[in-house]
Every structure is written in C-alpha cells, then in structure tokens.
Structure 1
Amino acid sequence: MKNTMEYNGYVGSVELSEEDGIFFGKVLGIRSLISYEGENYKELRDDFHTAVDDYLEMCKEEHIEPEKAYKGSFNIRISPELHKRLAIYAIEHQTTLNSYVAETLEKAVK
C-alpha cells in the first residue's frame, strides 16, 4: 500500500483517523503547512489538489516564491572514517564524492 500521493511536484501523505472516520494528510518536504482531508480516496485526492492549487495561487498573489519540496540537497552525518573512505574511493574511481553517493543512493531505491 502506498501512503503518499503526488500532484504538481508536491508529495502528500495519506493517513487514516479511525476515530473520526476520515482520511487526512499534509504536503511533505516543505515548511509551510498544507493539509487536506476527505471521507474517501477521491475526496482526499481532490482536496489535496485543491490545497496545492490554493497554496500556489496564494504565493502568486503575494508575489512570493512557492517552496519547492526536495530541492536535491540534504545533510548526512557519518563518521569521519567513513567520510574519508568514501572520498578516497571517489578519487580512485575518477568521480566526485557527490556523484558517487548519488549513484549509490539511486541504486538503493530502484
């Protein structure tokens, strides 16, 4: 089962409140809070689309740049020894550390 959905470049969560009998979610990967809900999948999806569209329209009206989810950079904390080994490996294989890590992560999620 997939617990996310995508629309217009944004990823939203899909959750269920058994107590209230509704589905709900929020847009992931940005600081702004964009939430939505529905009594079934179609209502949830439609409210997600409307919430994203409303957010983009509000940004346009207020002349602000909409936040982009998953910009392509993130920090990772590893041991100095692993950092050193990865850097040496990348140099030995005539690539950058960034390229090597990106390729490795790409393989991991395929």
Structure 2
Amino acid sequence: MQYKGYTASIRFEEEAKLLFGEVVGIADTIFFEADSVDSFIQAFHDAVDDYLAWCAEEGREPDKPFNGRILFRCESDLHKSAIQAAEAKNMTLNQWLTQAVSRQIEAEAGDPVVVRAA
C-alpha cells in the first residue's frame, strides 16, 4: 500500500482483531493500527501526514523512501575492470554491482540478502 511515495507493511493480529502497519523503507519509525481495512488505509494516510507535519514543525527533512538508486564514483580503472568483469559473466554492470554488494553485505553481516532482478 502506497501514499505520498511511502509504503506500508501490513500485519493482522487475529486475537486482537487488529491490523498493524509500519511505514517501510525509511530510517524513521512510523507505526499505525486499525480494526478495519478502511480505517487502516485512513490510519496509514494520517500517520504519513502527521509525520510530514512533525518534520515541518521540527524544521527537518523527512526521510524519503529508498528508491534503489546509488550514485557511485570510482577511479576510471576500477570502472573499466568492473565493466569487463560484468561482461565476462554476461551481466550488466548494474547486475554485477548488485551481486557484488550483496555478497559483501552477507560476508560482513552474516545474513543472506534477498536481491530482486533489476
């Protein structure tokens, strides 16, 4: 579910008969809940609007959802080597870099990274 560029996750708690939501893809934490689908949608919209209003009151930029783009600058020789490595594996540079970053995160964090095809 999306609103103003923000995405919500949805979880249903059967015992409480409540829908719980969280805005995902940002560093700040925004939770909300409701007892029906319509009120859940409204609660999500209200939570995002409240967050944006709070940021404005505090004079700070609201977190923007991650868009999947990373500007990466490197030496020209490294750029050339990366393209050659990607071509050798019949991959685009983007695919190769995504795979390389995922492997590094897994090596450092020990958790597998789920990568969607780009």
TM range (shorter): 0.5 to 0.7
Cα displacement (A) at 1:87:
4.9
Match of 2:8 among 9, 12, 27: 12
TM-score for both structures, normalised by structure 1:
0.67
Percent sequence identity over matched residues?
A: 35
The ranges of structure 1 where at least 4 consecutive aligned residues each deviate by more than 4 angstroms after the TM superposition are: 84-87, 99-102
Cα displacement (A) at 1:72:
2.2
The 5 A counterparts of 1:1-110 are 5-73=1-69, 87-90=84-87, 97-98=93-94, 105-106=117-118
Gaps of 5+ in 1: 75-83
CA change 1:19–1:87 in 2 (3 A) is: farther
Cα displacement (A) at 1:100:
6.3
> AA paired with 2:62?
P
**Which string of whole-angstrom CA distances, capped at 9 and with x for unpartnered residues, describes residues 3-29 of structure 1?**
xx1100000011101110111110001
Cα displacement (A) at 1:99:
6.8
Q: Distance in 2 between matches of 1:36 and 1:89?
A: 43
Cα displacement (A) at 1:90:
3.7
- Local SS of the residue matching 2:32: strand
Cα displacement (A) at 1:91:
7.6
TM-score for both structures, normalised by structure 2:
0.63
